[in-house]
């Protein structure tokens, strides 16, 4: 029994190491090319009564695929809200995928106390939901505050992440976003993401 447990631990450690390597490779920078529906989820996606259309995609085959969706009239450079789909075609659990992101946030928090995060694990499904706040700046130097919630679930062929990203811009806008919008709506936003059906994403053939 102990030998079997040791083998299982080694296998999970190996899978975690592979996941870390895959995520470290990252995705190519945003380009102006038309988005490609890598995941058989052309959209529009719908959350909180709003439709989100596919606006950008990138891939690092065979392991990482990302698609980003925006409401009508919003842009990648200055969106107010965005939906994200990441497919990690690796042998990992949703919790392991979430923990890799959490460790990245923890490192950022060491030098920027604005960074904040919370992780909830669903013991029944094995899924995980990580929400976090990040600061940033636009290309013109305006401050940004960004709240994200990433829901990780196991699917055939890997882990699927469905995320929502919301932003405030400018000195007044970032303060208002934190003090009013996020404070009043965070739990409702998390509940909406946790309750929506996951898109039927399919990993592309290798």
What is the reported pLDDT for 206? Answer: 65
Strands 116-121 and 128-137: antiparallel
First-to-final CA distance of the chain: 36
Q: Residue 83 pairs with which residues in a beta bridge? A: 69, 164
User: CB count, 10 Å around CB of 21?
Assistant: 11
Tell me whether residue 99 is in a domain. Answer: yes
- Total of domains in the chain: 1
Give dist(CA 65, CA 122) in Å, integer: 24
- What letter would DSSP give residue 9? H
Domain annotation covers residue 206: no
Does the pLDDT value for residue 64 go beyond 60? yes
Given a cut of 70, is residue 2 above it in pLDDT? no
Residue numbers of the domain that contains 105: 2-195
Tokens read off for 186: 């965070």
Structure tokens at 76: 């990648």
Q: Which helix (H) or strand (E) holds 200?
A: none
Residue 182 above 80 pLDDT? Answer: yes
pLDDT at position 13, please? 45
Residue 25 inside a domain? The answer is: yes
Instruction: Evaluate whether residue 204 is within a structural domain.
Output: no
């Amino acid at each position: 029994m102990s030998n079997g447990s040791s083998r299982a631990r080694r296998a999970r450690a190996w899978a975690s190491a592979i996941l870390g390597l895959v995520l470290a490779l990252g995705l190519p920078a945003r380009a102006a090319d038309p988005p490609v529906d890598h995941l058989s989820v052309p959209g529009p996606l719908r959350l909180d009564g709003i439709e989100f259309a596919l606006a950008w995609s990138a891939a690092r085959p065979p392991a990482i695929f990302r698609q980003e969706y925006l409401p009508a009239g919003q842009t990648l450079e200055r969106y107010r809200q965005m939906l994200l789909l990441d497919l990690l075609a690796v042998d990992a659990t949703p919790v392991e995928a979430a923990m890799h992101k959490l460790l990245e946030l923890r490192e950022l928090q060491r030098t920027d106390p604005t960074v904040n995060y919370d992780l909830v694990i669903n013991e029944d499904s094995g899924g995980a939901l990580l929400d976090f706040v990040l600061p940033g700046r636009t290309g013109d130097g305006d401050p940004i505050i960004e709240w994200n919630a990433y829901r990780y679930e196991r699917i055939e062929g890997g882990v699927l992440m469905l995320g929502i990203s919301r932003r405030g811009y400018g000195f007044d806008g970032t303060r208002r976003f934190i003090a009013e919008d996020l404070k009043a709506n965070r739990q409702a936003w998390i509940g909406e993401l946790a309750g929506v059906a996951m898109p039927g994403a399919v990993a592309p053939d290798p």
